[in-house]
Structure formats: C-alpha cells, structure tokens
Amino acid sequence: MNIFRGIADFSHLAAIIILLHKIWKSRSCAGISGKSQILFAIVFTTRYLDLLTSFISLYNTSMKVIYISCSYATVYLIYMKFRATYDGNHDSFRVEFLVVPVGGLAVLINHDFALLEILWTFSIYLESVAILPQLFMISKTGEAETITTHYLFCLGLYRALYLFNWIWRFYFEGFFDMIAIVAGLVQTVLYCDFFYLYVTKVLKGKKLSLPA
C-alpha cells in the first residue's frame, strides 16, 4: 500500500463518518441527498461481494465491512429515524438516468462476462456518478452547510488521491486497471467545480452559497 492509497482510504472513511456524525448530532438530514446515499450503499454492496469469495487482508476486510455498515446506517438515519427532516422536494434528481445507463455499460464493457465481475464493474461506474444527486441538490437550493462541504471535500480528495495511487502502481508494480482509471477520472472531474468553491469560499470562512 502506498501513501496515496493510505490517505485516500482514510479520507473516504472520514467523509463517511463526518456525514453520519453530522446527521446524528443535529438530529437532521436537511441538505443531504438520500438518493446519493442509497447509490453509495448500492456501490459498496455490489463491489464488496468479493468479501464472500476471497480474503485479501484484515485491513481490506475491515474497511469493506465498515464502509458497508456505515452506508446502510446513513440510509437508515435519512429514510427512517430522521425521515421528517429529509428534504425530499429538493432531492429530485432522477436516479434511473444514472442506474440504467451505468448498468448497460457494465454489461457491455467489463473484464469478464461473469456475474460478480459485472457487479464489480457496475459499482465502479455507479460510484463515479453517485454524487450527482447531492451536487444537484446543492445547485437547486443554492447553498450547503459547511459540514456538508467538508464531507464532499473528503470524498473528492479520496478519489483524487486514488489517481495518484494508480500512477504509483503503474510505475512501481506495472499494474493498471483501465475501467477503474477512466471511472476515477470522471468522478474526480465532477468534483472540480466544487473544489474551486471549497477553496475560494469555505476555507476563507464563508458559507457555500451559489449565485442565484
């Protein structure tokens, strides 16, 4: 494991925990897209089915289990426990426009035409666009709580660091995975606009609000 992978994984974990903690402490999921969180739960579930077929390391297994559990806990808090605070009217992104094309692409472009491989590929493609409902919600309401922007920053940082991880692995291990790299690039690009706002506004102590 290289330094980029290490920091990326913990940045990802930080993002997940920041979100859970925010919802739990404020007893509210206002401003959070439940749809993005459901997509992330689907991403983890379909990707980590390999927990049942192969053991890689204690670190690998623990992180996968933590990611899956936290994502389900988040969905539970949004749709069950704090349902009254869920802002469904603003969470109006049509997820079928993501899931259906991504499913089709996973069937067409994959490493091996086998169920687990197709589900793994599906999860990679889906993860690259899963944040769109959340970004759409922010663009619709024109603002985001600062803690929500920290969550998004950690999530974007995780993906950006994975790009460095892949460059590292290509040079030092001769390993690269085209599906993950292309999807990772797409995912990172989606965060660029947000990164700009985060650096120019949030880090200067201002609230993230978009011009009307």
Query: Amino acid identity, residue 60?
Result: N
Q: Single out the segment in contact with another protein by CB under 8 A; choices: 63-71, 90-98, 187-195, 198-206.
A: 63-71
Among 4, 11, 12, 14, binds another protein (CB under 8 A): 12
Report the alpha-carbon angle 18-134-4, nearest 5: 55
| 162 lies in the binding site for another protein (CB under 8 A) | yes
Among 17, 180, 182, 185, binds another protein (CB under 8 A): 180
| 194 lies in the binding site for another protein (CB under 8 A) | no
Distance CA 157, CA 15 (A): 10
Distance CA 144, CA 147 (A): 8
> Which tokens go with 16?
């997940």
Of residues 98 through 117, those in contact with another protein by CB under 8 A are 111
| Distance of closest approach, residue 106 Cβ to another protein, in angstroms | 14
| 122 lies in the binding site for another protein (CB under 8 A) | no
| Distance of closest approach, residue 196 Cβ to another protein, in angstroms | 27
Nearest one of 70, 73, 89 to 31, comparing CA atoms? 89
Per DSSP, the residues of 28-60 read --TT--HHHHHHHHHHHHHHGGGGTT----HHH
| Distance of closest approach, residue 111 Cβ to another protein, in angstroms | 8
Contacts of residue 119, defined as CB under 8 A and 6 or more positions apart, other chains included, come to: 46, 47, 49, 106
Report the alpha-carbon angle 168-65-13, nearest 5: 55
Of residues 66 through 95, those in contact with another protein by CB under 8 A are 67
Size of the site for another protein (CB under 8 A): 19
Q: Single out the segment in contact with another protein by CB under 8 A; choices: 53-61, 71-79, 189-197, 204-212.
A: 53-61
Among 72, 81, 105, 177, binds another protein (CB under 8 A): 177
Residue 127 to residues 45, 85, 112, 156, 174, Cα–Cα distance (Å): 11, 26, 19, 12, 25
Question: Facing residues of 209 across strands?
Answer: 143
Among 9, 126, 151, 208, binds another protein (CB under 8 A): 9
Q: Single out the segment in contact with another protein by CB under 8 A; choices: 30-38, 52-60, 93-101, 140-148.
A: 52-60
Binding site for another protein (CB under 8 A): 5, 9, 12, 50, 54, 56-57, 60, 63-64, 67, 111, 120, 162, 165, 173, 175, 177, 180
